[in-house]
Amino acid sequence: MGLESSIAPKLRRPDRRPKHTPGSYQPPYPSFSARFGDEVDAVVMASFGVQSRDADDPRAAAALGEMREARSAHDGPGSVQRARYIDAQGYTTTIDTAYWSDPRAFERWFASVGAAWLDPDRVEDGVGRFLELVTPDLERFETIFSASDRPEGVAEVGTEMSGMIEEHAYWGSMRDRLPLAQTDPLWPSGELVVTGSGRVRDVRLHGNACLIRSGQDITDTGDRERDLYLSTVEPPLRAGMDFLRDEGGSIGCYDNRFMVVLDEDDQPTDRTFGMSWWRDMAALEDWAASHLTHVEIFGAAMRHLSSFGPETRLRLFHEVTVPTDVQQRFTYVGCHDETGLLRAR
């Protein structure tokens, strides 16, 4: 079977050194990466959040309604996914994760309608709003999908899926998929900066912090696979996500959210994802490879996949981003002190 590098042709370096000899490795199952148009040199990943103590606060619903309206304006995002979780402080948090493949379109949209949504004058007490903005160039993120027929996340603003890729299913493959890692060790650089106080606060992480959004979709599973997933995979996954949320700081995880994707009527679907920020890719790798909470997740997922083999209908994907210090910015308005990257201080 023909395999190709996860790294798009125009980003491949002749002297790259993946762990396995290019052309020689046969992964045990197929995976795919998103491809982007030739004109794309950077993307926008924007998380617009609404936070309220009371899940049914009508002001939160109003803020979300405003966002739904704003995102349909001209130059709006190419893709949006709404998802929800309850944070460690008990606040219901709903986030629209929006993607643009053209940063200039984002800038026009934001100037026109996006910024107004975050205007402190519109943010009511007890119903915080935030924007977590990441604008990586193509060298600074990578994606992987277990199936090529349903793009998710940033892939929805891509042009197509790659063929079957080489760099997956072995430890270190995440790094081998990230184009910049061909030439850069991705060490953290510079300082985290928090500005503002009171109602409006901005965070800018140091360079080479690492964001992962890692999702699972059981929409297409039959009863037997769904039952097995819910009874054997989901519990350790939830335990690991809780660990990262509550104790992640001890291992370089600044924040973690385990979210349920919502449908058009804001009802929960069969799709979930974890979204976490890390000091650097190495800290994420260390947790994934060595920490008991992830060893349990990994073991459960392996047993699940080997139970169903090619009949598996569970879908998995992730996207991992390592922005520079100026490719990210986090703005919290009227949010509590432990919200998102405010915890990274």
Binding region for a second copy (CB under 8 A):
17-21, 24, 169-172, 185, 187-188, 282, 285-286, 289-290, 292, 295, 298-299, 302
Q: Give min distance, CB of 32 to a second copy, in A.
A: 20
Q: Give min distance, CB of 208 to a second copy, in A.
A: 10
What is the longest distance spanned by two Cα atoms in the chain?
59
Which CB, 250 or 267, lies closer to a second copy?
250
Q: What are phi and psi of 61, to 5 degrees?
A: -60, -40
**Measured distance CA(142)–CA(214) in Å, rounded:** 12
Q: Give min distance, CB of 233 to a second copy, in A.
A: 15
Residue found by looking up tokens 């850069």 in the block: 184
Amino acid residing at 185: P
Which CB, 27 or 126, lies closer to a second copy?
27
Task: Give me the count of residues in the chain.
Answer: 345
Chain centroid to CA 298: how far? 19
Which CB, 208 or 272, lies closer to a second copy?
208
Q: Give min distance, CB of 187 to a second copy, in A.
A: 4
Cβ–Cβ < 8 Å for 31, 146: yes
Please list the active-site residues. Answer: 318
Q: Give min distance, CB of 161 to a second copy, in A.
A: 24
Query: What one-character DSSP code corresponds to residue 211?
Result: E
Which CB, 4 or 286, lies closer to a second copy?
286
Which residues lie below 8 Å from residue 128, measured CB to CB, with a gap of 6+?
Answer: 49, 50, 51, 52, 91, 332, 333, 334, 335, 336, 339
DSSP E strand boundaries for 87-209: 92-100, 127-134, 141-145, 160-161, 193-197, 200-204
Alpha helix (H) residue ranges in 147-291:
173-177, 223-228, 234-247, 281-290
Which CB, 12 or 35, lies closer to a second copy?
12
* DSSP H or E run through 256: strand 253-262
| CA–CA distances in Å: residue 163 to residues 5, 57, 239, 342 | 9, 46, 34, 39
Which CB, 206 or 329, lies closer to a second copy?
206
Cβ–Cβ < 8 Å for 184, 194: no
Q: Give min distance, CB of 345 to a second copy, in A.
A: 19
At residue 100, the 3 state secondary structure works out as: strand
